[in-house]
């Protein structure tokens, strides 16, 4: 059984580097394969709060590839350069390129997430390897804990060794950082994605029907915490735009298209 942790590099090199260093610092990586995926991010670390021109965005992408490749080499991580085809679809591409099979799992170490608990990736892998009917396992965010004191957020508690996990039996919530069972990914023909949000957003809504169809469940590890940190304000504006204006145009604008649109508006 293989454990692959991937860092989808759609963020600045500094954020990717910090996430990678955190992963290696908090986990025993002897039995974990790490993948850094460059997805052509159009912002730089130095000017991440300034809208770039189309030409500047291209230059940023070229410079970021070099930094991400060096980072992977420094840590002995696999380096992939692939087009950004949407969050869920990127998971699918990484799973396919790494040739993941039943019994394997694919976990994310996202650039804008900072796990707080030692052994978090090992714990996720232990749970996902133990029960092949778990499609997704999440870490816990402190702001999610109050939900479990409200009506409808019910769960059943289990252990794998010393790792405690909750099988969600009532309402489900937004997912924190976590990982997929590769069997689920393959059975679905890839990580499901929302037809109205092919670039970003609503991965939970897309996956729930498939989980129900194939008999999978979703779990949370309450003792393993993660914090979400801010990305570029320009990137946050783009994400807000494409998740709030889905009905205004067919599909979602890529970040490159959003930058081009803003560049035209500024003329």
Report in angstroms the alpha-carbon separations of 41 from 47, 63, 141, 230: 13, 10, 27, 16
- pLDDT, position 66: 97
What average pLDDT does this structure show over 233-243? Answer: 92
* CATH label of the domain that carries residue 89: 3.90.550.10
Task: Report the alpha-carbon distance of residue 177 to residue 174 in Å, rounded.
Answer: 10
Kindly state the helix (H) or strand (E) to which residue 123 belongs, with its residue range: helix 120-130
Beta carbons of 199 and 252 less than 8 angstroms apart: yes
Where is pLDDT greater, at 124 or 264? Answer: 124
**Percentage of residues in the chain having pLDDT higher than 70:** 97
pLDDT over 60 (residue 249)? no
For the chain, give the mean pLDDT: 94
Strands 134-140 and 178-181: antiparallel
Decide: helix, strand or coil at residue 246.
helix
pLDDT over 70 (residue 51)? yes
Which residues lie across from 3 on neighbouring strands?
32, 105
Rg of the chain over all Cα atoms, to the nearest angstrom = 18
* pLDDT tier at 246, thresholds 50, 70, 90: low
Per DSSP, 160 falls in state: E
Tokens 């790494």 map to which residue? Answer: 98
pLDDT over 80 (residue 11)? yes
Strands 163-168 and 78-81: unpaired
- pLDDT, position 252: 87
What average pLDDT does this structure show over 160-172? Answer: 94
What average pLDDT does this structure show over 189-200? Answer: 87
3-state secondary structure string across 35-79: EEEECCCCCCCCCCCCCCCHHHHHHHHHHHHHHHHHHHHHHCCEE
Residue among 113, 115, 142 nearest 229 (CA): 113
Domain membership of residue 181 as a residue range: 3-266
Split into its structural domains, the chain has a count of 1
Per DSSP, 145 falls in state: G
Task: Report the alpha-carbon distance of residue 11 to residue 262 in Å, rounded.
Answer: 19
């Amino acid at each position: 059984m293989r454990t692959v942790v991937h860092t989808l590099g759609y963020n600045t090199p500094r954020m990717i580097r910090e996430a990678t260093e955190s992963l290696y610092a908090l986990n025993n990586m002897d039995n974990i394969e790490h993948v850094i995926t460059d997805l052509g991010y159009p912002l730089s670390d130095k000017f991440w709060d300034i809208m770039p021109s189309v030409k500047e965005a291209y230059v940023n992408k070229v410079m970021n590839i070099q930094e991400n490749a060096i980072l992977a080499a420094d840590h002995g991580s696999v380096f992939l350069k692939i087009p950004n085809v949407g969050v869920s679809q990127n998971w699918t591409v990484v799973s396919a390129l790494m040739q993941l099979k039943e019994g394997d799992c694919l976990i994310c170490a996202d650039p804008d997430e900072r796990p707080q608990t030692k052994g978090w990736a090992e714990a996720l892998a232990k749970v996902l390897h133990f029960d092949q009917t778990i499609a997704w396992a999440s870490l816990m965010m402190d702001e999610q804990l109050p939900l479990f004191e409200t009506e409808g957020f019910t769960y059943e508690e289990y252990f794998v060794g010393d790792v405690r996990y909750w099988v969600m039996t009532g309402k489900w919530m937004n997912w924190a950082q976590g990982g997929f069972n590769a069997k689920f990914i393959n059975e679905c023909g890839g990580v499901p994605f929302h037809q109205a949000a092919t670039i970003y957003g609503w991965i939970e809504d897309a996956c729930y029907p498939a989980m129900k169809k194939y008999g999978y469940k979703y779990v949370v590890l309450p003792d393993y915490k993660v914090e979400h940190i801010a990305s570029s304000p320009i990137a946050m504006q783009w994400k807000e735009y494409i998740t709030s204006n889905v009905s205004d145009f067919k599909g979602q604008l890529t970040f490159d298209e959003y930058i081009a649109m803003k560049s035209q508006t500024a003329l």
